[in-house]
Amino acid sequence: MLRTTRILPVFLLFLTPLITLAQATVSLNPSDEAPVIDKNIYGHFAEHLGRCIYDGLYVGEKSNIPNTEGVRNDIINALKDLKIPNLRWPGGCFADTYHWKDGVGPQSERPTIVNTWWGNVTEDNSFGTHNFLNLCEELGAEPYLAGNVGSGEVQELADWVQYVNFDGISPMSDWRKENGREKPWGVKYWGVGNEAWGCGGNMRVEYYADIYRKYATFMSDAGLEGGLYKIASGASNDDYHWTEVLMRDIPHNLLQGVALHHYSVIDWNAKGPSVGFSEDQYFKTMEQAWLMEELITKHVEIMDKYDPKGKVDLIVDEWGGWYDVMEDTNPGFLFQQNTMRDAMIAGMTLNIFHNHARRVKMANLAQVVNVLQAVILTEGEKMILTPTYHVMKMYNVHQDAQLIPIELNTPDFEFNGEKLPAVNASASKDAAGKVHISLVNIDSKKSNTVSVAVGALKLKDISATILTSKTLEDHNTFESPEKIQPEQFKKFKLKNGTLEVELPPFSVVVLEAN
């Protein structure tokens, strides 16, 4: 049975698979009214968690590892190549225990903090506001600061805004200058708390909505051109009531974005390994990744009810795969390997974000280094790029390009009587007129041929890149850092306005054409 849905820009699609080589079809439907894919969808997340900051990003200025103000140069260069548009810090759960004033001024005078959320390790606050914001400047990325609403006070957050943004005379701007920074950084993006329903205070949404209104009121624009962009702590997964109350009870002049968190987790009590997973665990992980489509659709429906003009954005500021930690590592550090399964999560999720570009304006992969679905892993002086890194780099051609709505029919990926769409896709056209088409085949066993109707676009000079490997569990290691990396792809042909692409099992392909 064939079920077809037009993707303008949402898609939901199924087709009964064939025994050997299955067939999918994609029609491109360019529209001048289609939204732009905001580059901030490609954001990242750096929490004080495990080895993300300390012994990850930050090794200190005295380290033998080449660094800039204590941040590893190899990581800086890798993130620049990734065209990272924004970086969220300092949490996560850590944000609502973090007091920013402890992390500025002479390092020798900074108090320590016990990270009660992640391993009960003692941190010395050597990485603080200046380090983070200077790193963002070096990367050319927008900083996204998550404010402490759980254990902090209104004045504390208001002071932070003034410290980093105010160019006039004030106690906070004077203090910033004393600490070595003459001009403010101009931080636009601010999270007003994090996961208020859980580690951010176990609040009821009605209570948090009032708390948000209070904090947001006292967060002055401090002369920042365009004003602050304030993001409410949003729902976990399918808590649609949470989104309903935020959109209903918070005046929209105080609210620019509503967050959503969703991880591809099989079972919070039995997440399964990051390497050595079963076919069943793979399929269930793909189910959770594909659930992002339904979650965004339903949360957006609620937002549309209260905000039909789309002035408030949906911000998916935590997403990715979450598994059991690697053996012989601190369970509070959330260190996991990154395999082709993670490449499937990344490719599928980014396609979903693209196709919801009307509302989804920012997203933050969790996390950037050594934690959860990291794009970079380190071990001493060594550094490796993960399959997720390679997918995000392949896909960054879509940043700030205009979405091309698509219509997609796909075979199913079947396992034990359950089904998922085997192929997912998105497309865009950039300012230079180049068209990019991203295709993902999540089927672990079957290749899928995709027929893309491109006649109306009159494409030529087509090239392609693929990320795939021999097994789903393949991953890069410090001994074999380039086992998985993008390669030139040639299994496609253009004939009579139709582009035929042969996708191997568990593969990601990005095509480019003029």
Per-residue pLDDT tens digits for 262-306:
999 999 999 999 999 999 999 999 999 999 999 999 999 999 999
pLDDT of residue 156 exceeding 80, the answer is yes
- Max distance between CA atoms of the chain, in angstroms, equals 72
Taken in order 16, 17, 19, 23, the sign of the CA dihedral is positive
Q: Which fold has domain 42-400?
A: TIM Barrel (3.20.20)
Mode of pairing for the β-strands spanning 189-192 and 229-236: parallel
Q: Using the CB atoms, write b or e for 353-370: b if 16+ within 10 Å.
A: bbbbbbbbbbbbbbbbbb
- Which residue type is seen at 387? P
pLDDT band at 21 (very low <50, low <70, confident <90, very high): low
Cα–Cα distance for residue pair 262/242, rounded to 1 Å: 14
- Which residue type is seen at 239? D
Residues 6 or more apart whose CB falls under 8 angstroms from that of 94 comprise 47, 48, 49, 115, 117, 118
> What 3-state DSSP class applies to 483?
coil
DSSP of 296-329, one letter per residue?
HHHHHHHHHHH-TT--SEEEEEEEEE--PPPTTS
172-213: per-residue pLDDT in tens? Answer: 999 999 999 999 999 999 999 999 999 999 999 999 999 999
pLDDT score, position 13: 32
pLDDT score, position 459: 84
Find the DSSP H helices in 196-278.
205-217, 240-249
Residue pair 387/484 in contact (Cβ under 8 Å)? The answer is: yes
The predicted model gives 301-315 an average pLDDT of: 98
For residue 404, CA distances in Å to 71, 427, 435, 480 come to 38, 5, 9, 38
DSSP of 173-212, one letter per residue?
HHHHHHTT--S-----EEEESS-TTTTTT---HHHHHHHH
Cα–Cα distance for residue pair 448/19, rounded to 1 Å: 11
pLDDT band at 219 (very low <50, low <70, confident <90, very high): very high
Residues 6 or more apart whose CB falls under 8 angstroms from that of 451 comprise 23, 24, 25, 26, 498, 499, 500, 501
Candidates 156, 161, 169; CA nearest to 185 is: 161
Cα–Cα distance for residue pair 256/314, rounded to 1 Å: 9
- Supply the Cα-derived Rg of the chain in whole angstroms: 23
Q: What angle do CA 413, 417, 421 make, to 5 degrees?
A: 25
| H or E element, residue 350 | helix 340-355
pLDDT score, position 101: 98
Candidates 318, 342, 509, 319; CA nearest to 427 is: 509
Domain with CATH 3.20.20.80 in the chain: 42-400
Cα–Cα distance for residue pair 381/104, rounded to 1 Å: 27
pLDDT band at 496 (very low <50, low <70, confident <90, very high): confident
Residues 6 or more apart whose CB falls under 8 angstroms from that of 113 comprise 97, 98, 99, 102, 122, 123, 125
The predicted model gives 50-76 an average pLDDT of: 97
pLDDT of residue 18 exceeding 50, the answer is no
76-92: per-residue pLDDT in tens? Answer: 999 999 999 999 999 99
Cα–Cα distance for residue pair 475/484, rounded to 1 Å: 6
Name the CATH code of domain 2-35+404-513 (choices 3.30.70.3340, 3.40.1160.10, 2.60.40.1180, 3.20.20.70).
2.60.40.1180
pLDDT score, position 103: 98
Cα–Cα distance for residue pair 97/90, rounded to 1 Å: 10
pLDDT of residue 16 exceeding 80, the answer is no
pLDDT of residue 6 exceeding 60, the answer is no
pLDDT of residue 14 exceeding 80, the answer is no
Cα–Cα distance for residue pair 118/98, rounded to 1 Å: 13
Please identify every residue annotated as catalytic: 195, 318
pLDDT band at 3 (very low <50, low <70, confident <90, very high): very low
Q: What percent of the chain has pLDDT over 70?
A: 96
Low-confidence winner among 8-17, 240-249, 298-307, 475-484 (lowest mean pLDDT): 8-17
Cis peptide before 90 (omega within 30 of 0): yes
The predicted model gives 149-158 an average pLDDT of: 97
pLDDT score, position 222: 80
Candidates 464, 514, 512; CA nearest to 492 is: 464
Computed over every residue of the chain, the mean pLDDT equals 94
| H or E element, residue 351 | helix 340-355
Cα–Cα distance for residue pair 505/457, rounded to 1 Å: 28
Domain with CATH 2.60.40.1180 in the chain: 2-35+404-513
Q: Tokens 């409410």 — which residue?
A: 232
The predicted model gives 134-145 an average pLDDT of: 98
Candidates 419, 396, 347, 424; CA nearest to 26 is: 424
pLDDT of residue 345 exceeding 80, the answer is yes
DSSP of 15-34, one letter per residue?
EPPPSSSEEEEEEE---TTS
84-127: per-residue pLDDT in tens? Answer: 999 999 999 999 999 999 999 999 999 999 999 999 999 999 99
The predicted model gives 123-139 an average pLDDT of: 98
The predicted model gives 3-27 an average pLDDT of: 51
> What 3-state DSSP class applies to 391?
helix
Cα–Cα distance for residue pair 285/25, rounded to 1 Å: 25
Mode of pairing for the β-strands spanning 492-495 and 2-3: unpaired
| H or E element, residue 370 | none
Backbone dihedral angles phi then psi of residue 379, each to the nearest 5 degrees: -150, 100
Cα–Cα distance for residue pair 150/93, rounded to 1 Å: 9
DSSP of 441-478, one letter per residue?
E--SS--EEEEEE-GGGT--S-EEEEE--SSTT-B--S
pLDDT score, position 514: 86
435-467: per-residue pLDDT in tens? Answer: 999 999 999 999 999 999 987 788 888 999 999
